[in-house]
Amino acid sequence: MFKQLQKLGKSFMLPIAILPAAGLLLGIGGALTNPNTINAYPFLNIAWLQGIFAIMSAAGNAVFANLSLIICIGLCVGLAKKDKGTAGLAGAVAFLVMNASIAGMITTFNPEIGSIDTGVVGAIVIALMVSFLHNRYSTIKLPDVLGFFGGSRFVPIVSSLGAVFVAVVFFLIWPTFQGWLVTAGKGIAGLGVLGTFLYGFLLRLSGAVGLHHMIYPLFWYTELGGVETVAGQAIVGAQNIFFAQLADPNHVGLFTEGTRFFAGRFGTMMFGLPAACLAMYHCVPKERRRAFYGLFLGTALTSFITGITEPIEFMFLFIAPWLYVVHAFFDGVSFLVADLLNISIGNTFSGGLIDFTLFGILQGNAKTNWLLVLVQGAIWAALYYFTFKFLITKFNVKTPGRDENAEDGNEEVKVVSPKDEINSKAVQILEALGGKENLEDVEACITRLRVAVKDVKKVDKERIKKLGATGVLEVGGGIQAIFGAKADPLSKKINELIGRD
C-alpha cells in the first residue's frame, strides 16, 4: 500500500509540472490587463499590447479551467506500467464519460441538485480505475471475431463502461462526501493560524519520504482548501480560487485566505534554506571550503529561484533526521507567520523567486502584502543560519565537507560525456538494486529515483551511494535514491535496460 501511495504521489508531478508555464501566462496576462495596473501605468493601454496580454491570460486560464481532466490524464500516464499513451487516452475518455453520465442522471432523477463537480477526487478515482484495468488487460486476447478490439484497444472501451458505474456511485454519495470535505475544510479554517501551522509542518515532514504529493493537492483542488464565489461561480480549492480571482478583472482587495496554504513557502524557500546552506558552508573547515563552494551556492540558488529544496534537505536528512524535524517545524511556523501577516501570494509549483515575482510583486502589494515577505525573510534567514550553525557544530553533524574522509576536490577527473555517464551508471545501479528480477517498478520525481523492489535485502545501498546518490532511503519495502537532476534520465535508462517503456 505504501508503494502504491508513493507511486500515486509521484504521478501527480506530471500534470502539476505544466502549471508554472500556465501560471506564467495567467500571471503576466492577468496582472497587465487589470484596470488598476493600466491606470497606474498608462503606457500599457495600447490596443494590440492589451490584446496580447488578454490572449496570454486566456491561454493560462484554459489550463486551470480543465485541471481535473489534465490531472486524470497525467495520473493514468504515471500509473501505467507500459503503453502509457493508451492509458492517458483511456483516462480522458473515462473522465468525460463519468461527468456526462452524472449530468444525465441529475437531469433524469434529481434536477434539484443542479450539478455535481467531483474535481480532483473524481480524477483520482478514474485514474486508479483506468490504470488498474490498463495494467491488467492491455494485452488481453479476444475471440477472433472481436480480435480488433483486443489488446490496448480494449482498455478505453472497458474504462468507459467502468466510468458509468463510477458515475452512479458519485451520483449517490457525492453530496454527502462533499459535505464531509466542506466540514473538514471549515474545521481546519476554524483552527486559525494553528491549522495553517499544522498544514505547513506536516506537509514538510511528509516530504522526507516523498508523500507530500499526496497532501497538498487535496487542499489545492478540493473543498479542504475552501469554497468561494468568484465572478458568480462557486470555486473549490485554494489554488483554483486564487487563479479564478487572478483571472477576474473585477476582483478587488486581498486575494482569498486560501493563499495561507502557499504564502508560508516563500520565507523558507527563498530565505531560510539558502541561509542554512551558508551555515553549512561556514561549518566546513576553511581549507576545504573552496571545494564545496559550488555545491552550496548552486543548491542555494536553486531553492531561492525555483523553490526546489530537495538538494539542500538531502544534505542533512539522512545524516541527522532530527535536524530535518527542526526544519519542518520552522517551515510550519513560516506558514503561521505568513497567515498572521495576511500575506496573500499564490503559486503554481513552489515558493521561489519566479512565483514570488509573478503572483506577489506583479499583482501589487495592495492585493498580496508581498513587502512583508521581505521582512519575514530577513528574520527567517537569521533563524535558519544561526540555528543550523549552532546545531551542526554542537552535535558535530557531518554535513558535506565536514566528513574527515571528504574529497578535497583536487583529484584528477576523467571527462565523460553526460550520455555515457548516465548509461554506465544506470547499468551499475541496476546491478546494485539486485538486477532486473528484483525490480517491480522504477520511477523518478524531481530529484529522487524511486524503486519498488521484491526483496530489499538484495539492494546494495553503499554501492548506490558510491555511484553518486547523496542518500539512499528504504521506505515501505522500496528504495529512494537521491541523484538530483540525474534521477529522471537514470529512471528512463533503467526502464530501457529492463525492457519497459
Quick one: three-class SS letters along 28-78?
A: HHHHHHCHHHHHHCHHHCCHHHHHHHHHHHHHHHHHHHCHHHHHHHHHHHH
CA distance 156 to 11: 20
DSSP letters, 322-361, are HHHHHHHHHHHHHHHHHHHTT-----SS-SSHHHHIIIII
User: Looking at 76, 277, 283, 445, which residue is catalytic?
Assistant: 445
H helices present in 191-272, as ranges: 193-206, 216-221, 238-247, 264-266
CA distance 231 to 157: 38
- Do the beta carbons of residue 163 and residue 126 sit within 8 Å? yes
| Residue 424 neighbours by CB distance under 10 Å | 13
Active site residue 72: no
- Do the beta carbons of residue 495 and residue 442 sit within 8 Å? yes
State how far Cα 352 lies from the chain centre: 14
CA distance 400 to 344: 36
Q: If we measure between CA atoms, which residue out of 393, 398, 367, 377 comes closest to residue 334?
A: 377
Q: Which residue has the cell 473585477?
A: 250
Q: If we measure between CA atoms, which residue out of 219, 250, 253 comes closest to residue 236?
A: 219
| Residue 494 neighbours by CB distance under 10 Å | 23
- Do the beta carbons of residue 497 and residue 426 sit within 8 Å? yes
CA distance 281 to 124: 43
State how far Cα 342 lies from the chain centre: 24
- CA-CA-CA-CA dihedral for 53, 54, 58, 61, to nearest 10: 60
Please name the residues in contact with 219: beta carbons below 8 A apart, sequence gap of 6 or more: 199, 225, 237, 238, 261
DSSP element (H, E) containing 234: strand 233-236
- Do the beta carbons of residue 496 and residue 482 sit within 8 Å? no
| Residue 51 neighbours by CB distance under 10 Å | 11
Handedness of CA 221, 222, 227, 230 (dihedral sign): positive
- Do the beta carbons of residue 262 and residue 334 sit within 8 Å? no
Three-state secondary-structure class, residue 472: strand
Catalytic residues: 445
